[in-house]
Structure 1
Amino acid sequence: MDAVRAKIAGRTLTTGDRLPSIRAFAAAMGVSPSTVVDAYDRLAAEGVIHARQGSGFYVATAPPPLALGEIGPRLDRTIDPFWVSRQSLDTGEDVAKPGCGWLPADWMPTASLRRATRRLAKADDTLLTEYGATRGALGLRRLLARQFAGEGLEIGPDQILLTGSGTQAIDLVCRFLLRPGDTVLVDDPCYFNFRALLRAHQVDVVGVPYTPYGPDTERFAEAAAAHRPRLYVTNSALHNPTGATLAPQVAHRVLNIAAAHDMTIVEDDIFADFEPEPSPRLATLDGLSRVVRIGSFSKTLSASIRCGYIASGADWIDALIDLQVATHFSGVSPVAAELVHAALSDGGYRKHIDMLRRRLARARGDTAARLKPLGIVPWLMPRGGFYLWCRLPEGCDAAALAGRALRDGVVLAPGDVFSVSRTAAGYMRFNVAQMAAPAVYPALGRGLADAMHTLPTF
């Protein structure tokens, strides 16, 4: 009975759907047919299902509203991806946020954005008032195509679809390719909103251990063979949360495994501009044959100006456009696309990126040095970017530390938020650009002292 209710609540079964036959469900549940008969009869008595003579049992009730927090296991809120996202987004400016995923405002190219905004005020009325084209602004798509060509990915602007954000881009791909009950591979650990978004799509998520050189290819091959996943979702450049860089041999092995098991790869390339030198990209090596590239400009330009993109094979773009029209009518705002295009075309953007790389390199070193006396050590020192994935002192639980720090006005990102297998309780992701707030290190010190004090002594 609980299994049927769960399928209805999760919308695997909806009103009017036929339930599995008594014999098939008994075999699937490992019980006798008489047990299933009894369960179906009780559910029918409650009005959840109804019988049709000679046809079987059908769902009778409308499913309850979808509550994402109820899908999957109940988690301690400090390791729930939704909770961490909401704490980062909803807390005020007086709260320090070394657990968040963006740079401080004074690190961003606000002067360039203001210039672009002033120019936009003189634009045609249609740009300011009307929907945009279904593929998004041609000028920005051409600029992206030129950037991709510079790294060896030769595609035209018609193979690029602009979206309302990077998250919307990945959501569209998931809507296009996935059905409830499909399996998706992710890195373990991985970006926590991948987990949150996939939970919303009601798919089975399987984690593959991540190494300093990319996914563990032996475990990746085993998972692909055992689970027949539809998708693999990853960051290749400056992996989130670990900061690792994909090695060429690992990239080729991953592509070969994906081809052998007819698996599509979604490569989130949002951190590309932070790399001092480009590392291997699955999309470039594959030529968008079975890799879909997605990205946005929220990390380097502005999280407020929402604009993302999908780059894929030409045969998928039209279907993705239809899906975007159906779910959002028009994808990216023409105003947002114009602002992004103007800022990226501004002669100061490249200088801004160079400045960010230098500033972040100093911040990574400073943060590692200040964490060391606390017994917090980076798993590796990344080539770029703003994350440090760190080991906590032996026996310290990251979720407990995050809960303690929140009372001191500090939002942290504990390791198990990123881990499908929940094997990262001893890790924490730190945003080095957000570590300068005065409250951060005292809160860490108090939290660690509390954690060590509660450890058993022998």
Structure 2
Amino acid sequence: MVENYKLNPNLTKTAAVAEWLKQRIDWQIYLPNQRVPSVRKLSKLMGISSFTVVQAYEQLVATNVLVAKPSSGYYVNEQTRLVPPNRDKKVAPKQPVIDTRWLVQQVSSDIPHHRSPGVGTLPRDWIRNDKMEWAIRQVTQQADGFIYDYSAVQGYLPLRQQLVQQLNVLGMQTYTDNVMTTAGISHAITMIAQLLTEVGDTVMVDGPGWFWLSSCLQQQGLNVVAVERDHQGPDIEQMQQLFETYHPKLYLTNSVLHNPTSYNLHPARAHQVLNLIHQYDAYIFEDDLYAAFLPSGQVLRYASLDQFERVFYATGFSKSMSSGWRVGLLVCPDHFIDDVLRIKTLSNMSTPEFGERVIHHLWTHGEYRRQIKKVQQQLYRAHERMRIALPKIGLVYPEHTQAGLFVWVDTHQDTSQLALDAYSDGWLVAPGHLFHPDASASTYLRLNVSTSSDAFLAWLGDYLNH
């Protein structure tokens, strides 16, 4: 066999050398415990520097493909065993179970956004920030001063200070000492649930509400009950009945651009809810993840009225900036901050400061504000499009929907079966039963206005008519 020493031109030279050698191990040209070409020999054959070959070999040592033996060279790891795929084995296709775990897995799969009207994020080209690489470079230049130490448990101070300034503008008065960073909203939720509840306790959520939330709380051994949510807020009579019957210690909700309805909170309803919270000695976890998409920030929140007496307030950047950084911010009532910091210390130690610094650079740069304004305009146009398109396929655009990510549509058919049929045709949708803790049958769909294409709406119209 005549060996080919050409490298993949689409990779860096180091990555290309590593790829070249792994291919030959896969092809069993080099077997376990066999010595691979020396650094000097391979660099000469490939016409590259010995330094590049050393880098590639060391990467393969770090990933347990090779073993380095002093004064001898590099050898294929004896643990390397090739298990060829069994192409003859027939596996019966499984019918998927449409639940929270399934939807989260599909969101992380390779289904493209334009085939995913059920996804919970914006298309990458909507939120791409031209200053992202700039911000990463800025932080990298400063990394030697912080990267080798544990981050502050409470989080990067300038980022917390920026949130305090932002909240003051929105009528919420707090201090940096009452703010901590988290690994996203989900991290904040699990910490506050751990703080206020024990296994077997009851917590209250909106119905419909964020599908991940109910499943997460149930997994922690909590009883999750739902209060019906309309365009003004939770049903007060039902909420009082739930307090009387179950004595929930915590109510978790979106007050602004609610997921999945894109409704806001009416001031009168907010006052009524807070009265019940005080009456029954409970607390609110207010998830304000969608705040950036409001054209005007002056929309009422529970924290605006309560001023963090009985409200834990959380926000983040996974929808508006980047899901990958997992940076969130949590504001706690003064008498709880030490307890929550203790929980954070014993669970995560701290959150990575590198990402927090990048987020701070982007948040305080004018390009982010310009980008968010553009997203707000795109969302408005997407809702106007849906307002016209839905009636054409026999559906009603909900009257009180605001220009958030979602629209909550009644199809008048069981959407769990619809989701299965859509998946078979290559569409990812979010059926209504996922948005209730008891997974009760639903005729609703949560549609992401940024990813619900004309092609999907045509499919949906045909499906509903036939």
TM-score, normalisation: structure 1 = 0.78
Q: CA deviation at 1:398?
A: 0.7
SS of residue paired to 1:389? strand
Counterpart contact for 2:185–2:315, Cα < 8 Å: yes
Q: CA deviation at 1:415?
A: 0.7
Q: Determine the C-alpha separation between the residues in 2 that align with 1:179 and 1:86.
A: 28
> Counterpart amino acid of 1:305?
W
Tell me the equivalent position of 1:271.
290
Residues 1:313 and 2:333 aligned together: yes
Tell me the equivalent position of 2:456.
440
Q: CA deviation at 1:143?
A: 0.2
Q: CA deviation at 1:79?
A: 4.4
> Counterpart amino acid of 1:202?
G
Q: 1:93 to 1:127 in 2, by over 3 A?
A: farther
Paired-residue identity, %: 32
Matches within 5 A, 1:210-229: 210-229=229-248
Q: Determine the C-alpha separation between the residues in 2 that align with 1:291 and 1:83.
A: 32
Q: CA deviation at 1:271?
A: 0.9
Counterpart contact for 1:166–1:308, Cα < 8 Å: yes
Counterpart contact for 1:79–1:416, Cα < 8 Å: no
Matches within 5 A, 1:51-90: 79-90=98-109
Q: Determine the C-alpha separation between the residues in 2 that align with 1:230 and 1:185.
A: 8
Give me the CA root mean square deviation. 1.7
Q: Which residue, 344, 347, 365 being the options, matches 1:324? A: 344
Residues 1:409 and 2:426 aligned together: yes
Residues 1:397 and 2:380 aligned together: no
Q: Which residue, 313, 317, 336 being the options, matches 1:293? A: 313
Q: Determine the C-alpha separation between the residues in 2 that align with 1:78 and 1:267.
A: 30
Tell me the equivalent position of 2:376.
357
Tell me the equivalent position of 2:304.
284
Tell me the equivalent position of 1:247.
266
Tell me the equivalent position of 1:33.
none
Query: For residues 72-97 of structure 1, what are the alpha-carbon distances to aligned partners after superposition, in whole Å with 9 as ceiling and x for unaligned?
Result: xxxx9654222111111123437711
Q: Determine the C-alpha separation between the residues in 2 that align with 1:297 and 1:441.
A: 29
> Counterpart amino acid of 1:165?
G
Q: Which runs of 5+ in 1 are unaligned?
A: 1-75, 453-458
Query: For residues 316-372 of structure 1, what are the alpha-carbon distances to aligned partners after superposition, in whole Å with 9 as ceiling and x for unaligned?
Result: 111111111111111x21011001100000011221121111110001111232222
> Counterpart amino acid of 2:381?
R
SS of residue paired to 1:429? strand
Q: 1:326 to 1:208 in 2, by over 3 A?
A: same
Q: Determine the C-alpha separation between the residues in 2 that align with 1:328 and 1:423.
A: 35
Q: 1:149 to 1:192 in 2, by over 3 A?
A: same
Counterpart contact for 1:232–1:266, Cα < 8 Å: yes
Matches within 5 A, 1:338-357: 338-357=357-376
SS of residue paired to 2:319? coil
SS of residue paired to 1:293? strand
SS of residue paired to 1:329? coil
Q: Determine the C-alpha separation between the residues in 2 that align with 1:94 and 1:255.
A: 39
Q: 1:349 to 1:94 in 2, by over 3 A?
A: closer
Q: Which of 375-384 and 140-149 deviates more? A: 375-384
> Counterpart amino acid of 1:279?
V
SS of residue paired to 2:447? strand
Query: For residues 262-300 of structure 1, what are the alpha-carbon distances to aligned partners after superposition, in whole Å with 9 as ceiling and x for unaligned?
Result: 011100011112122322110121011111001211111
Counterpart contact for 2:215–2:437, Cα < 8 Å: no
SS of residue paired to 1:123? helix
Query: For residues 92-127 of structure 1, what are the alpha-carbon distances to aligned partners after superposition, in whole Å with 9 as ceiling and x for unaligned?
Result: 437711111111110014212122112122113143
Q: Which residue, 188, 197, 205 being the options, matches 2:224? A: 205
Counterpart contact for 1:135–1:321, Cα < 8 Å: yes
Q: Which residue, 427, 434, 446 being the options, matches 2:444? A: 427
Q: Determine the C-alpha separation between the residues in 1 that align with 2:96 and 2:339.
A: 37
> Counterpart amino acid of 2:206?
D
Q: Which runs of 5+ in 2 are unaligned?
A: 1-94
Query: For residues 32-68 of structure 1, what are the alpha-carbon distances to aligned partners after superposition, in whole Å with 9 as ceiling and x for unaligned?
Result: xxxxxxxxxxxxxxxxxxxxxxxxxxxxxxxxxxxxx
Q: Determine the C-alpha separation between the residues in 2 that align with 1:367 and 1:259.
A: 40
Query: For residues 220-274 of structure 1, what are the alpha-carbon distances to aligned partners after superposition, in whole Å with 9 as ceiling and x for unaligned?
Result: 1111111110110000001111111110000000000010000111000111121
SS of residue paired to 2:324? coil
Q: Determine the C-alpha separation between the residues in 2 that align with 1:381 and 1:220.
A: 22
Query: For residues 113-170 of structure 1, what are the alpha-carbon distances to aligned partners after superposition, in whole Å with 9 as ceiling and x for unaligned?
Result: 1221121221131433432100000000000000011111111111101011111011
Q: Which residue, 125, 130, 136 being the options, matches 1:106? A: 125
Matches within 5 A, 1:84-233: 84-93=103-112, 96-233=115-252
Counterpart contact for 1:78–1:402, Cα < 8 Å: no
Q: Determine the C-alpha separation between the residues in 2 that align with 1:374 and 1:268.
A: 33
> Counterpart amino acid of 2:451?
Q
Larger radius of gyration: 2
Matches within 5 A, 1:5-16: none
Counterpart contact for 2:386–2:397, Cα < 8 Å: no
Counterpart contact for 2:397–2:409, Cα < 8 Å: yes
Q: CA deviation at 1:424?
A: 5.8
Q: Post-superposition, which runs of at least 4 consecutive aligned residues in structure 1 deviate over 4 A?
A: 76-79, 421-424
